[in-house]
């Protein structure tokens, strides 16, 4: 991938992560939720769909050549949220607070700051 494609992929990951985990502010609080815990309210299919979105984010992140350790952490984050999130009610509260996609975005950005500082500089300039 060239720098423009890498930047577009990074921005897509950012948008999806925020959409899934922090898109909606709770009035009167600083707390934010995304579509992940909302979809989790749909019995059975909701958790499956949100896990699919999270897997897609990991697929996009893998294009950056992440180390195995970072990929393992990302997969663990999504797996934990999928397993605990499947428990009725308690799982939905966990989904709203754990925010695996935002955690995975932070892991990706930390890797990119170390491995490709020029990409993060360009990305910061385009925000």
pLDDT digits 0-9 by tens, 53-76: 999 999 999 999 999 999 999 999
Nearest to 62 by CA among 126, 123, 6: 6
- 92 band by pLDDT with thresholds 50, 70 and 90: confident
Asked whether residue 9 carries a pLDDT value surpassing 70, the answer given is: yes
Q: What is the pTM of this model?
A: 0.89
Query: Domain-by-domain residue ranges, the chain?
Result: 3-24+33-125
User: Hey, which bits of the chain come out as E strands?
Assistant: 24-25, 32-33
Q: Tally Cβ neighbours within 10 Å of residue 18.
A: 16
């Amino acid at each position: 991938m060239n720098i423009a494609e890498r930047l577009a992929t990074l921005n897509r990951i950012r948008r999806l992560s925020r959409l899934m985990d922090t898109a909606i502010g709770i009035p009167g609080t600083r707390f934010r939720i995304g579509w992940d815990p909302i979809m989790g309210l749909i019995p059975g299919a909701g958790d499956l769909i949100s896990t699919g979105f999270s897997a897609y984010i990991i697929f996009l992140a893998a294009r950056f050549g992440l180390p195995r350790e970072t990929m393992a952490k990302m997969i663990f984050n999504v797996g934990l949220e999928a397993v605990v999130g499947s428990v009725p009610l308690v799982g939905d509260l966990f989904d709203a607070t754990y925010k695996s996609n935002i955690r995975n975005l932070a892991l990706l950005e930390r890797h990119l700051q170390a491995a490709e500082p020029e990409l993060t500089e360009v990305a910061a300039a385009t925000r």
